[in-house]
């Protein structure tokens, strides 16, 4: 999101998807609580002012922006009160207060019921405008407009695309009640995609963010489905004899990699999103599972016990010889690859603990990122700078987010039930 045009496009695109979901299914009641620890190595001091007249809108825009930026760990937030005259800024005064940048904005209620949200990002050192955005939005998209502004601030000041306006998906379990939920990246604006009395596992976003593949046990066995989040339509993609599991989208969006046991032991297959053209691509005497496509679509990473214990391997997307990738520890599972193809995230068992690790594929250097002991299901943010995963604390499963350097940590807990199986959605196209 670098221009006003892109801002408008994302509002429209995301709006269509969310509007369809909201129009069909009532939002879930419980929202998540976020605890933050740690900061980035070089925090940028930024003042975020209350937007003029923002009390007129359903959401307080400036508070969402501040929460997003603070959660990232990349910024030191300086409270600026409310600035009503955004065209007459005392740059030197804000610089004296320690702010390198200043966010100001206005909200105006329009006659047609929409809200005109305007924002400026100002450089207090150069005393100049860095960026500005302007968009008229309906009430339900005021929160999204705040996330998009935070994305713009993050990009302009760090050079890295923000991921605040993206969405996440996860499973919430309360007894025998399983819910597949979709929410904003901060856990707010929860929407129900599927409810079942049988387990739901392994959700995976389509590259365009309009569909989710997952495994449901509603037929008393694991079956892979693809669900359109806009139309609510579902397609059975894999319902072969035995287990059907671990769907992963190809970057092209036209096929999935899945793990099937139809031939006696679990192997990796590819299949079109309508269930056609099923093709086996791995071939070992062991168990090959948890496939994950590389960002360029050329390779598939997967977990295999062909070496005696579970390790992560890489093969060409069309199959062929596989090369082992992980060598640290005797038990490594759940591979996830960053969008730039440079970093592998996975769960490793060391001294009886299941913890989140990352591996620099070029240097072979690995790093433990979590300080919990029962981690699972890692998922990269689309900008590759954060990883979400499920963990257990206090007898309940919750979600956690950690920066790839391990400095910034977040814990997301629900008011009730266990939350698990997280997956981070893509940037909106």
Q: What is the CATH number of the domain that holds 120?
A: 3.40.50.10070
CA nearest to 73, candidates 35, 29, 38? 38
| 282 and 227 within one domain | yes
Q: Give the integer Cα–Cα distance in Å for 266 and 258.
A: 10
What pLDDT, on the 0 to 100 scale, is given for residue 404?
95
47-70 pLDDT, tens per residue?
999 999 999 999 999 999 999 999
Q: Give the integer Cα–Cα distance in Å for 355 and 370.
A: 6
What is the DSSP track for 361-413?
A: TTT--EEE----SB-EEEEE-TTSSEEEEEEEETTEEEEEEEETTS--EEEEE
Do residues 347 and 361 lie in contact, with contact meaning Cβ atoms separated by under 8 Å?
no
What pLDDT, on the 0 to 100 scale, is given for residue 139?
94
Q: Give the integer Cα–Cα distance in Å for 103 and 402.
A: 26
DSSP 292: E
Instruction: Answer yes or no: is 374 within a domain.
Output: yes
Instruction: Answer yes or no: is 376 within a domain.
Output: yes
Counted domains in the chain: 2
Domain boundary among 140, 158, 176: 158
What pLDDT, on the 0 to 100 scale, is given for residue 212?
97
Instruction: Answer yes or no: is 262 within a domain.
Output: yes
Domain boundary among 121, 140, 158: 158
> How many angstroms separate the Cα of 213 from the Cα of each of 50, 125, 234, 256, 258?
40, 48, 9, 9, 10
| 188 and 47 within one domain | no
DSSP 153: H
Q: Give the integer Cα–Cα distance in Å for 405 and 385.
A: 8
Q: Give the integer Cα–Cα distance in Å for 419 and 429.
A: 28
| 222 and 121 within one domain | no
Q: Is the pLDDT of residue 9 over 70?
A: no
| 282 and 240 within one domain | yes
How many residues are recorded in the chain?
429
What pLDDT, on the 0 to 100 scale, is given for residue 39?
72
Higher pLDDT, residue 143 or 28: 143
357-374 pLDDT, tens per residue?
999 999 999 999 999 999
Q: What is the CATH number of the domain that holds 227?
A: 2.120.10.30
Q: Give the integer Cα–Cα distance in Å for 182 and 81.
A: 33
Q: Give the integer Cα–Cα distance in Å for 126 and 315.
A: 51
User: What average pLDDT score do residues 86-106 get?
Assistant: 95
| 108 and 82 within one domain | yes
Chain-centroid distance of CA 15 in Å reads 18
What pLDDT, on the 0 to 100 scale, is given for residue 316?
97
What pLDDT, on the 0 to 100 scale, is given for residue 36?
74
Domain boundary among 124, 158, 192: 158
What pLDDT, on the 0 to 100 scale, is given for residue 37?
75
Do residues 270 and 281 lie in contact, with contact meaning Cβ atoms separated by under 8 Å?
yes
Instruction: Answer yes or no: is 18 within a domain.
Output: no
What pLDDT, on the 0 to 100 scale, is given for residue 109?
95
Do residues 114 and 138 lie in contact, with contact meaning Cβ atoms separated by under 8 Å?
yes
What pLDDT, on the 0 to 100 scale, is given for residue 121?
98
Q: Give the integer Cα–Cα distance in Å for 125 and 114.
A: 35
Instruction: Answer yes or no: is 4 within a domain.
Output: no
| 261 and 325 within one domain | yes
Instruction: Answer yes or no: is 55 within a domain.
Output: yes
Tokens of 244: 């059907």
The label of the residue with tokens 């992980």 reads: 326
| 130 and 189 within one domain | no
310-361 pLDDT, tens per residue?
999 999 999 999 999 999 999 999 999 999 999 999 999 999 999 999 999 9
| 178 and 152 within one domain | no
Q: What is the pTM of this model?
A: 0.91
| 331 and 219 within one domain | yes
- List the domain range (segments joined by +) for residue 125: 37-158
What pLDDT, on the 0 to 100 scale, is given for residue 414?
79
Other CB atoms within 10 Å distance of the CB of residue 26: 8
Sign of CA dihedral 11, 13, 18, 19: positive
pLDDT mean across residues, the chain: 91
Instruction: Answer yes or no: is 2 within a domain.
Output: no
| 187 and 127 within one domain | no
| 416 and 293 within one domain | yes
| 190 and 153 within one domain | no
Q: Give the integer Cα–Cα distance in Å for 120 and 89.
A: 11
| Segment holding 200, helix H or strand E | strand 200-205
Q: Please, which residues have CB within 8 angstroms of residue 326's CB and are 6 or more apart in sequence? A: 311, 312, 332, 344, 346, 348, 359
160-173 pLDDT, tens per residue?
999 999 999 999 99
pLDDT band at residue 17 under the 50/70/90 scheme: very low
What pLDDT, on the 0 to 100 scale, is given for residue 29?
45
Residue 96 burial by CB count (10 A; 0-12/13-18/19+): exposed, middle or buried?
Answer: exposed
Instruction: Answer yes or no: is 190 within a domain.
Output: yes
250-296 pLDDT, tens per residue?
999 999 999 999 998 999 999 999 999 999 999 999 999 999 999 99
379-422 pLDDT, tens per residue?
999 999 999 999 997 788 999 999 999 999 998 887 777 999 99
What pLDDT, on the 0 to 100 scale, is given for residue 354?
97
What pLDDT, on the 0 to 100 scale, is given for residue 31?
64
């Amino acid at each position: 999101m670098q221009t006003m045009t892109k801002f408008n496009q994302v509002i429209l695109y995301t709006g269509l998807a969310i509007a369809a979901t909201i129009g069909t299914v009532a939002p879930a009641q419980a929202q998540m609580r976020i605890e933050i620890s740690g900061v980035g190595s070089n925090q940028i001091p930024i003042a975020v002012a209350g937007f003029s007249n923002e009390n007129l809108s359903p959401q307080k825009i400036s508070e969402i922006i501040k929460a997003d930026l603070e959660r990232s760990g990349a910024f030191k937030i300086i409270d600026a009160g409310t600035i009503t005259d955004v065209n007459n800024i005392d740059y030197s005064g804000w610089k004296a207060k320690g702010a390198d940048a200043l966010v100001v904005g206005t909200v105006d209620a329009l006659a047609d019921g929409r809200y005109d949200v305007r924002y400026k990002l100002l450089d207090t050192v150069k005393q100049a405008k860095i960026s500005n955005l302007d968009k008229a939005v309906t009430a339900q998209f005021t929160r999204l407009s705040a996330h998009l502004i935070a994305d713009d601030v993050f990009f302009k000041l760090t050079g890295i695309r923000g991921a605040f306006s993206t969405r996440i998906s996860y499973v919430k379990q309360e007894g025998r009640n399983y819910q597949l939920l979709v929410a904003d990246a901060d856990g707010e604006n929860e929407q129900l995609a599927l409810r079942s009395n049988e387990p739901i596992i392994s959700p995976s976003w389509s590259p365009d963010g309009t569909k989710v593949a997952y495994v449901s046990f509603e037929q008393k066995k694991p079956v892979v489905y693809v669900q359109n989040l806009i139309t609510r339509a579902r397609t059975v993609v894999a319902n072969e004899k035995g287990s059907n599991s671990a769907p992963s989208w190809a970057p092209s969006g036209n096929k999935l990699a899945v793990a099937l046991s139809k031939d006696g032991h679990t192997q990796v297959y590819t299949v079109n999103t309508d269930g056609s053209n099923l093709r086996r691509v791995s071939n070992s005497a062991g168990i090959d599972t948890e496939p994950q496509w590389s960002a360029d679509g050329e390779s598939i990473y997967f977990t295999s016990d062909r070496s005696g214990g579970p390790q992560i391997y890489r093969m060409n997307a069309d199959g062929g010889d596989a090369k082992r990738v992980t060598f640290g520890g005797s038990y490594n599972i759940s591979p996830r690859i960053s969008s730039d193809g440079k970093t592998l995230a996975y769960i490793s068992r060391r001294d009886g603990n299941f913890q989140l690790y990352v591996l620099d594929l070029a240097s072979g250097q690995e790093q433990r990122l979590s300080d919990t002991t029962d981690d699972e299901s890692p998922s990269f943010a689309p900008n590759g700078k954060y990883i979400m995963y499920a963990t257990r604390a206090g007898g309940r499963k919750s979600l956690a987010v950690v920066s790839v350097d391990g400095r910034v940590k977040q814990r997301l807990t629900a008011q009730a039930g266990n939350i698990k199986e997280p997956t981070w959605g893509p940037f909106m196209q």
